[in-house]
Amino acid sequence: MSNILSISALTLATHDMRRAVDFYEALGFGIKYGGRDAEFTSFYVGDQFLNVTAQPHDRQWAWWGRAIFYVDDVDRIYARSVDAGMQPQATPRDAQWGERYFHITDPDGHELSFATPLQDPS
């Protein structure tokens, strides 16, 4: 039996690539491939990727879950999102499971969480 070692990429759907690219770039994601006029865009996430693929307007989706991204400074990402006019669900907070995090929903309804592991006081 083999172990699953990592995620190479997560792909999300959009009805508006320009809006999606603007959203992710405002949060600090860098583009590897594609862009505002592309049908498919890949953003760097460390050694992995977040992909966005254009879908026709008649293709609908419901809540699918949440993608969680570890960042070096969750409060800075939160401030960046607010400065860009986004509306996170709440301010960053410390969780009992050992992370400081906040959630935000992208323009296509995909929920994202940005988190930083809390320092162990011991």
Domain boundaries of the chain, sorted by first residue: 9-56+63-117
Q: What is the mean pLDDT of residues 62-85?
A: 90
With contact defined as beta carbons under 8 Å apart, do 18 and 59 qualify?
Answer: no
Q: In angstroms, what CA-CA distances link 116 with 33, 71, 98?
A: 27, 6, 9
Nearest to 11 by CA among 49, 55, 59: 49
CB within 8 Å of 71: residues ≥ 6 apart: 77, 114, 115, 116
pTM: 0.79
- Look at residue 62 in the predicted model and tell me its pLDDT: 75
Question: Is residue 83 scored above 90 in pLDDT?
Answer: yes
Q: Which of 7-16, 66-75, 87-96, 112-121 has the lowest mean pLDDT?
A: 112-121
> What's the sign of the alpha-carbon dihedral 39, 10, 5, 31?
positive
Tell me which CATH code domain 9-56+63-117 carries.
Answer: 3.10.180.10
Q: What is the mean pLDDT of residues 74-99?
A: 94
- Give 63 or 49, the one with higher predicted confidence: 49
- Give 6 or 122, the one with higher predicted confidence: 6
- List beta partners, residue 99: 117
